[in-house]
């Protein structure tokens, strides 16, 4: 398919956005794994029991803070993913609109070319007479 430069640019942008969305999804999954690991550590600490409860409580609070930060990062990534998905959908609509427009232009051009071809043939017949 022959694409004009703008269509190629749009296609390139679309591919880039899709790759970026995949990267964000991977990062989101990594953050989820970190949250699960943090929850496991918290559970292990609760079970461990220690003479120094103050230290364990501090560690627990530290892990909870890290979990909260991780959850916030996950939420931000989810929002970004939704935003990028919306951008991708908008670009797909725009690309389809451009394709439809180009199809209409091509059809109009072909009709005009055929009309001019017929006029040339008629003029050639008139000239031959």
pLDDT in tens, 8-25: 888 888 888 888 888 888
User: How confident is the model over 54-83, as pLDDT tens digits?
Assistant: 777 788 899 999 899 999 999 998 998 999
Per-state percent for the chain, helix, strand, coil, to nearest 5: 95, 0, 5
Which listed CATH number (1.10.287, 1.25.40, 3.30.190, 1.20.120) goes with 5-128?
Answer: 1.10.287
Cβ atoms of 74 and 25 within 8 Å: the answer is no
As a whole number, mean pLDDT of residues 44-63 equals 74
pLDDT at 45: 74
Q: What angle do CA 87, 90, 91 make, to 5 degrees?
A: 85
Q: What pLDDT does 11 receive?
A: 82
> Which residue ranges make up each domain of the chain?
5-128
pTM, two decimals, is: 0.41
Q: What is the pLDDT of residue 49?
A: 59
């Amino acid at each position: 398919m022959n694409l004009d430069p703008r269509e190629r640019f749009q296609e390139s942008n679309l591919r880039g956005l899709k790759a970026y969305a995949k990267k964000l999804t991977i990062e989101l999954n990594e953050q989820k794994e970190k949250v699960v690991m943090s929850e496991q550590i918290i559970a292990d600490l609760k079970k461990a029991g220690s003479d120094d409860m103050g230290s364990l409580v501090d560690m627990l609070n530290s892990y909870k803070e890290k979990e909260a930060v991780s959850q916030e990062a996950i939420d931000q990534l989810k929002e970004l993913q939704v935003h990028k998905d919306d951008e991708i959908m908008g670009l797909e609509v725009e690309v389809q609109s451009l394709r439809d427009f180009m199809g209409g232009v091509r059809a109009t051009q072909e009709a005009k070319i055929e009309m001019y071809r017929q006029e040339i043939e008629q003029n050639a017949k008139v000239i031959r007479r």
